[in-house]
Structure 1
Amino acid sequence: MSERYRIAIVGSGPAGLSAAGRAAARGLPHILLEKTDHLSDTIYKYQRGKHVMATPSQLVLRSDMSFDAGKRETVLGTWNEQAGPVNVRLNAEVKSITGSQGNFEITLTNGDKLIAETVVLAIGTQGNPNTVRAEGGHLPHVQYQLDDPAEYVDENIVVIGAGDAGIENALGLAADPEQRNIVSIVNRSADFARAKDANVKALTQARDQGRIAILTESSPSKIEAGWMTLDTRDGEARIPCDRVIARMGSAAPRKFVESCGIEFTSEDREAFPKLSPTFETTTPGVFVIGALAGYPLIKHCMNQGYDVVEFIAGNTELKPADEPILEKKLEGLPGRKSVSEWLEFLRANVEILNELSPLQMREFLLDSEVRFYKKDDRVFERNAPGSSLFGIASGGVLVEIKPTDPSVTVPIPAGSIFGEVGLISGRRRGATIRAGADSILVEISRTAALKLMATVPSAKRTINRITTERLLLQMFGSGLSRTDIEEVVASAEVKTVKAGEPIIKEGEDGYDIFVIRSGSMVVQKEIGGKPIFLSYVPAGAYVGEMALIDGGRRTATVKAAVKSDVIKLEGDAFRRLLARKPELAKKAQTDMAARKDLNNYIEAKKDSFGGIVDMYSSVASFLVENGVGEATDVLLIDEHLCVGCDNCEKACADSHDGLSRLDREAGRTYAHLHVPTSCRHCEHPHCMADCPPNAIHRGPDGEVFIDDTCIGCGNCERNCPYGVIRLDKVPPKKPGLLSWLAFGAGPGPGEPDKKWAYAKAKKAGVEAPKKAIKCDMCSGKAGGPACVRACPTGAAIRVSPEEFLSVALLSRGDS
């Protein structure tokens, strides 16, 4: 006869162990089934000596099992001691769960069976890791677990994945200098959205100490014995690699969970089971808690273990442990709703939150703010700094699109989002937004928004769809509405293209349209057996219309100048849109005609001025290689005109407290064009990626600048691939020109002698701290960049790259 229990708990991790502890304390007949020969396999598999965090710190622990931050061994030892009253069966792997509430039959892999009235699944996801899909990902030196960092000595080790597990593995491998490991960590994005702040700080500190190399915006493309090839923002890179430790997250054991009759929120691999606020699944009597429910933090898991047993025991009055925190966050909203009612209201009414479970909503709201705005209240002002994303739960907002006339607005309705430009690009707010009616808005911090996109595929798809829709309306105009482009947007596919990778190849069939969302493209054509540079295509432009409108094969190759995101629009859908909208068709014809003229012009010049065309192509390629491909504003010097007077550097120093941001002589030269060491104001600045005080911003005219909150950590200097940032002591303010002329105060015009600056500082008893110094395009100064204004011959020019490559350089070649 089968054993019978009130509750069967599957999995002895923090959630399952806490549930079993509560059942034991309540005297409920229970059994805790663990497939291994030890408790809490997830913690057991942590690397030896790992420090286990107890976050969030403000959350009260509600469990019969103790838990404090400490070493892995201490945590496991405490739980083993306290598990005495728990009815545990080790080496008990569950094969199947059948039956219904009150009479579930659980079959183990050894053939044993038992009966339970209710089942709690606390099995986690660690047994189903995401695997390396790059070539060579199956090789024996690729592993998904790190038991003891001390086992590895004198190796080149690459950790893939920059969540908490990956960061902690990398730190453990680099902790002891006597091991002589060379450790690198690879992160697909520029941000560490999945990791705790403490881990990110520890990682950057290890990087600063030279113990770990951080490779952001990179992913493995090939793994071989002794080497790994990476796709990076700037192209391929091959690094030594003796061992790969892949910590790229994991997914639910979906096949087993669905065999229990449990439904998931979507078909996505990363989706979680559908759950009620009491953790009950779509199979009555079966509950899911812990990482499988979307809550990976230990303290959350243990609270859920306690709570689920209370719910099963009939305690309907119990509120979650985070209830007081969320109540405080929601107390200023109108209407009388409980926390759970507000969470459901927000989930149901903000599209990007639709597929979050009640548990995920609680965690999400801990990192977000919900506010009520009365009609006409300002949400934010044009040019204000900010990178958070807003969701509209009720009401609606108005976007003031004309700075001189606030009455000219575009509405954004309830359910949608705004603020995505600041989230994606880091730019200041592009418009003033005010409430069009009494509204409830959710402000999602950049970190929370990136985490949402990384962990909830439907949220990422929705944000991509909305940003695509807005980009197309902005680009094409012609009186288009959201309804007009609905079919085209539905066909859109966002793709990341590595540097040098083509999206269109000359001579191939195809008529899809490509919109450049970020990064940039170069257009080349085979002329005389050589690839000749035709033009540069920046973010916010599109390519591919020639084959769509004229038919025939592709007439040129379009490839990424730097790592870029493109939106692929299905050609047939776009063709139907052109047929419905004559004004848009006319605009596309005009754009195509301009590109045809450029192509024909270069082909004609190749016959009579082949050397000039080759020079143009070579110079253009050189500029792209030197950062013009990701620039928004670049300083170039025409060596034919430059007389070496250094007025540009002196003017820069005069405009910036005696510290020049420009090194005229440094940098590379090709033909008559020189790219000095000066900021390119990249579209997606490398320097912004890791600034602890968030001191780097983009101004209203595209300039990237560093404010006074800089702490001199040097992260931006290290991250800049062009060497345009340096750390320097900020000198005391230099007396003005009139004071120098009248009284001899100060060192006079130009950059002050450092001896003067430091002597003044010493006299004042101040040791000037070092801060990051870089070009800010003379933001806020009349007349624009001082370097250009001070050049007596017109040799120094600041231009957007598309203007220079498409117009200025070509005309010089023809002169």
Structure 2
Amino acid sequence: MSERFRIAIVGSGPGGLSAAARAAERGESHVLLEAEAHLSNTIFRYQKGKFVMDEPGILPLRSPVPFKAGSRESILDAWDAAAAKLKINVRHGHEVSVIKKRDDGVFEISCTNGQRFQAQFVVLGIGLQGNIRKLGVPGEDLPIVQYQLDDPDEYEGETIVIVGAGDAAIENAVALSRQNHVVIVNRRDEFARAKKGNETAILKAIEDGIIECYYNAAPERVDALNVGRKKGRMALTTPAGKAQILIDRVIARLGATAPRGFVEACGVTFPSKDPASVPAISPQYESNVKGLYIVGALGGYPLIKQAMNQGFEVIEYIRGEKVEPADEPLLKAKFAAMPGFRSVDEALARVQANVRLLSHITPLQLREFMLDSEIRTPRAGEELFRRNDYTNSFYSVVDGEVQIVVDPVANQRVTLHKGEFFGEMSLISGRRRSATVIAGANCVLVETPRRSMNRLINSVAAVKREIDQTFILRAIQSRFAPEATAAQLADIVSHATLQTFNAGDVLFNEGEIGDCLHLVRVGSLTISRIIGGKDVVLSYVPAGNYVGEMALLGDSKRSATARAAIATETVRLDGESFKTLVARLPALKLRLQQEYRQRAAANLAMQVAPEGGDIIQFLLAQGAGEATDILLIDESLCVRCDNCEKACAETHGGTSRLDREAGPTFASVHVPTSCRHCEHPHCMKDCPPDAIHRAPNGEVYIADNCIGCGNCERNCPYGVIHMASKPPKKPGLLSWLLLGLGPGPGEAPPDPKKKKEAKEKKAVKCDMCKDVKSGPACVRACPTGAAIRISPEDFAAYARSRR
């Protein structure tokens, strides 16, 4: 015989527990079904002593169950106490196997222990932990590979590889590093998914040499063996090539996917077949099955506070009460600028209905996305950004239209309408804007910052696929055939693929038959030839440019080797499809022939003076391959007057951002310690207050809201950022002349190290004197012209000039 309740809550995680607590507080007939012998198995399985954060801090907590940042143990104790105090009707050891809705609207719930229940409403708060993602490589199920860490103190003196870049991976790595040799493998180049506190902790541990990190790396296989005291070996692919690590164990923390089979058996539908997708639910957390609600991680909201708020709110919705979501006031302020705004729900529905890209995420995910974004309502004719700007935000067109100026000379424009998006090319490549974009009539846009958009791309595969497909089309169109329509490009786009290369990887070799062309999407390439038995670099190819057209146009073999200078992505264009496009568009053929002649002449000039290639290779070895602007000093002209450093200090309040003497030199070309203004700035990736920005002209600078955490200093691989306190105000010219106070014009500023009192320190780096109309002070102050700033596009010409 089945017990009957008004509300059945499945799973006692943060969302389910909060829902049951609110139901108990409201006096609702309810039951909380939990498979384990304790509450909240996900939190229970956290490593012992783990500090649990209460993000997002801007949201208030709505729940009868307390929650504040603290240890795993303190949180579980508080939840147990709250459950007892509120007399929550929890049934432990009740794993739900079947949920079926009868014709009369009542849900039949069956458990694996044979118990059965009936309920008018069901709340699913089961989370994702039962469907852990595995490594996906040979050896993923070996005994030395585990997907959970209960107590880091159980392991001592071991070599342990942590695979993952999220909070769990970081916390495991930091805890284990106290008494073990820990290596963390991050598939990307930053810890973008982690909470700020965890970001700071892992980056500090890497900087201090406590933890070893492989960025842009991935496991290839795991083998069990006995080598000395080690139990196995892990093979990795890294930007520098293959790597092998002798290990004791691997702990993979790669997240989890929804228990799709069980959820779909309940009648719930998913918006796509993507394994990472979450069920489609309403803003009130109701699924397509009327009366069945989903809260927490299963609905796409893994943060504890968010899940607890949802648990509270879902009971109110079931009771027919009107409750304003915790983020409602924040979203109201966001949407206030939208014409015709009446309610947040209506505005969100309008955004999601009008923008196809955002149809791939749930309404709840959309709320979080909009909290990070801004609503823009520019007037008709207003420039949103200009060609060659270095901005990188992403735009979605909610209403109206925008015009992309693809050819400013002929004033040729392409119109984007409601539902389309733009800005993806600079977002992905890190390079300048490829076109000017002008607002049309009645334009309503969503502008999303780079970090938030990258987080969405990395977490929702369907969003990434759509942006990639659009990027390919627009990259081909803007670089080769701005006059062509999407229909004319359909064939070449359908045959195009995205390819990735690690630094040093070869795209094609000199002498090979040319069967494709590569358009550089991210990163950069070098073009080289064997001359006199030596590999000589002829040119440098940054993102937004292409290679491989010479062999295709001439139906000949490759005249040079193309190699990735840094980690690089390209759009590979099929040779036959490209030649067909060239045959259809005479104007394209003429442009390519002209560029062909220019490249051939430049390559010939470099072959005549092969030592120029050595200079390019030297610059690339100093990280110039990812630079957008780099300071160089001609040592044959430099007189060591240090005017460059003094001018830098004079311009920036007494603190120089340049170390002239430091840095390597080759063939009289000196690379001092000064910011390179990278295309994808390392310093910008993990800045808690979002204080590091890129100006429209490309200068990467640090704003006044820097908190001095030091993340940027640790992240910069070139040592161009340092922490400094503000020096005392320099006396005026008359005080110096009459009283001899302070350093005079051109004299060294006071040394902050000599100050006895401790002062607040903030990050300091070169900003290329972005607010000075006459340009960088270091270059202007050089009396011999030894100091210059150049972009990588000028490397070949610069190298040729050094003959």
The 5-angstrom pairing of residues 341-352 of structure 1 reads 341-352=346-357
Separation in structure 2 between the aligned mates of residue 25 and residue 245 of structure 1, nearest angstrom: 41
Partner residue in 2 for 1:361: 366
Partner residue in 2 for 1:46: 46
Separation in structure 1 between the aligned mates of residue 766 and residue 58 of structure 2, nearest angstrom: 42
**Which amino acid is 2:349 matched to?**
E
The 5-angstrom pairing of residues 16-415 of structure 1 reads 16-21=16-21, 31-63=31-63, 65-83=65-83, 85-97=87-99, 100-101=102-103, 102=105, 106-109=109-112, 119-133=122-136, 137-173=140-176, 179-183=178-182, 185-201=184-200, 217-220=216-219, 242-309=248-315, 311=317, 315=320, 317=322, 320-335=325-340, 337-370=342-375, 372-373=377-378, 375=380, 388-398=393-403, 411-415=415-419
In 2 relative to 1, CA 68–616 (structure 1 residues): closer, same or farther, beyond 3 Å? closer
Q: Which shows bigger deviation, 565-574 or 481-490? A: 481-490
Give the unaligned 5+ runs of structure 2: 224-229
For residues 139-191 of structure 1, the C-alpha deviation after alignment (integer angstroms, 9 at most, x for no partner) is 544322121233233445444333232333344445xxxx4445555444455
* Mapped pair 1:585 → 2:572: no
Separation in structure 2 between the aligned mates of residue 808 and residue 668 of structure 1, nearest angstrom: 18
Separation in structure 2 between the aligned mates of residue 716 and residue 53 of structure 1, nearest angstrom: 23
Separation in structure 2 between the aligned mates of residue 89 and residue 545 of structure 1, nearest angstrom: 69
In 2 relative to 1, CA 717–368 (structure 1 residues): closer, same or farther, beyond 3 Å? closer
Separation in structure 2 between the aligned mates of residue 323 and residue 212 of structure 1, nearest angstrom: 41
Separation in structure 2 between the aligned mates of residue 645 and residue 320 of structure 1, nearest angstrom: 63
Q: Which shows bigger deviation, 619-628 or 427-436? A: 427-436
In 2 relative to 1, CA 662–134 (structure 1 residues): closer, same or farther, beyond 3 Å? farther
Count of matched residue positions in the alignment of Structure 1 and Structure 2: 793
After TM superposition, give the deviation of residue 394 of structure 1 in Å.
1.2
The 5-angstrom pairing of residues 515-594 of structure 1 reads 515-526=519-530, 530-551=534-555, 554-594=558-598
Separation in structure 1 between the aligned mates of residue 337 and residue 622 of structure 2, nearest angstrom: 52
After TM superposition, give the deviation of residue 200 of structure 1 in Å.
3.7
In 2 relative to 1, CA 446–774 (structure 1 residues): closer, same or farther, beyond 3 Å? closer
After TM superposition, give the deviation of residue 54 of structure 1 in Å.
3.7
Question: Does structure 2 retain, via aligned residues, the 8 Å contact 1:100–1:284?
Answer: no
Question: Could you say what secondary structure the match of 2:662 adopts?
Answer: strand
In 2 relative to 1, CA 706–430 (structure 1 residues): closer, same or farther, beyond 3 Å? farther
Partner residue in 2 for 1:675: 671
In 2 relative to 1, CA 231–785 (structure 1 residues): closer, same or farther, beyond 3 Å? farther
After TM superposition, give the deviation of residue 722 of structure 1 in Å.
2.4
In 2 relative to 1, CA 430–743 (structure 1 residues): closer, same or farther, beyond 3 Å? farther
After TM superposition, give the deviation of residue 457 of structure 1 in Å.
1.9
Separation in structure 2 between the aligned mates of residue 145 and residue 276 of structure 1, nearest angstrom: 33
Q: Which shows bigger deviation, 164-173 or 652-661? A: 652-661
Separation in structure 2 between the aligned mates of residue 753 and residue 362 of structure 1, nearest angstrom: 50
Separation in structure 2 between the aligned mates of residue 115 and residue 768 of structure 1, nearest angstrom: 66
After TM superposition, give the deviation of residue 272 of structure 1 in Å.
1.0
After TM superposition, give the deviation of residue 325 of structure 1 in Å.
4.6
* Mapped pair 1:801 → 2:803: no
After TM superposition, give the deviation of residue 474 of structure 1 in Å.
3.7
Question: Does structure 2 retain, via aligned residues, the 8 Å contact 1:653–1:751?
Answer: no
Separation in structure 1 between the aligned mates of residue 542 and residue 258 of structure 2, nearest angstrom: 40
TM-score, L = length of structure 2:
0.83
Question: Does structure 1 retain, via aligned residues, the 8 Å contact 2:203–2:715?
Answer: no
In 2 relative to 1, CA 792–311 (structure 1 residues): closer, same or farther, beyond 3 Å? closer
For residues 426-478 of structure 1, the C-alpha deviation after alignment (integer angstroms, 9 at most, x for no partner) is 78989886642233332334443232222222222333344444444443355
Separation in structure 1 between the aligned mates of residue 549 and residue 632 of structure 2, nearest angstrom: 32
Partner residue in 1 for 2:227: none
Question: Does structure 2 retain, via aligned residues, the 8 Å contact 1:234–1:563?
Answer: no
Q: Which shows bigger deviation, 619-628 or 216-225? A: 216-225
Separation in structure 1 between the aligned mates of residue 670 and residue 431 of structure 2, nearest angstrom: 28
Question: Does structure 2 retain, via aligned residues, the 8 Å contact 1:399–1:410?
Answer: yes
Partner residue in 2 for 1:690: 686
Q: Choose which of 617, 628, 631 in structure 2 pairs with 1:632.
A: 628
Percent of aligned pairs with the same amino acid: 51
Question: Does structure 2 retain, via aligned residues, the 8 Å contact 1:100–1:285?
Answer: no
In 2 relative to 1, CA 811–283 (structure 1 residues): closer, same or farther, beyond 3 Å? same
Give the unaligned 5+ runs of structure 1: 606-611
Question: Does structure 1 retain, via aligned residues, the 8 Å contact 2:406–2:482?
Answer: no
In 2 relative to 1, CA 29–708 (structure 1 residues): closer, same or farther, beyond 3 Å? closer
After TM superposition, give the deviation of residue 537 of structure 1 in Å.
1.0
**Which amino acid is 1:248 matched to?**
L
Question: Could you say what secondary structure the match of 1:462 adopts?
Answer: helix
For residues 404-437 of structure 1, the C-alpha deviation after alignment (integer angstroms, 9 at most, x for no partner) is 99x9976543223345467557789898866422
**RMSD value over aligned CA atoms?**
4.4
Question: Does structure 1 retain, via aligned residues, the 8 Å contact 2:655–2:749?
Answer: no
In 2 relative to 1, CA 547–402 (structure 1 residues): closer, same or farther, beyond 3 Å? closer
Separation in structure 2 between the aligned mates of residue 574 and residue 467 of structure 1, nearest angstrom: 17
Separation in structure 2 between the aligned mates of residue 463 and residue 228 of structure 1, nearest angstrom: 34
After TM superposition, give the deviation of residue 349 of structure 1 in Å.
1.0
Question: Does structure 1 retain, via aligned residues, the 8 Å contact 2:204–2:714?
Answer: no
Question: Does structure 1 retain, via aligned residues, the 8 Å contact 2:606–2:612?
Answer: no
Question: Does structure 2 retain, via aligned residues, the 8 Å contact 1:161–1:246?
Answer: yes
Separation in structure 2 between the aligned mates of residue 362 and residue 631 of structure 1, nearest angstrom: 36
In 2 relative to 1, CA 645–403 (structure 1 residues): closer, same or farther, beyond 3 Å? farther
In 2 relative to 1, CA 323–668 (structure 1 residues): closer, same or farther, beyond 3 Å? closer
After TM superposition, give the deviation of residue 348 of structure 1 in Å.
1.1
Separation in structure 1 between the aligned mates of residue 697 and residue 22 of structure 2, nearest angstrom: 60
Partner residue in 1 for 2:712: 716
Question: Does structure 2 retain, via aligned residues, the 8 Å contact 1:364–1:448?
Answer: yes
Question: Could you say what secondary structure the match of 1:130 adopts?
Answer: coil
Separation in structure 2 between the aligned mates of residue 660 and residue 60 of structure 1, nearest angstrom: 43
**Which amino acid is 1:149 matched to?**
P
**Which amino acid is 1:148 matched to?**
D
Question: Could you say what secondary structure the match of 1:354 adopts?
Answer: helix
**Which amino acid is 2:195 matched to?**
K
**Which amino acid is 2:93 matched to?**
N
Separation in structure 2 between the aligned mates of residue 408 and residue 784 of structure 1, nearest angstrom: 32
In 2 relative to 1, CA 396–13 (structure 1 residues): closer, same or farther, beyond 3 Å? same
Question: Could you say what secondary structure the match of 1:523 adopts?
Answer: strand
Partner residue in 1 for 2:479: 475
Question: Could you say what secondary structure the match of 1:677 adopts?
Answer: coil
Separation in structure 2 between the aligned mates of residue 243 and residue 552 of structure 1, nearest angstrom: 51
Question: Does structure 1 retain, via aligned residues, the 8 Å contact 2:162–2:184?
Answer: yes
Separation in structure 2 between the aligned mates of residue 419 and residue 639 of structure 1, nearest angstrom: 41
After TM superposition, give the deviation of residue 643 of structure 1 in Å.
6.0
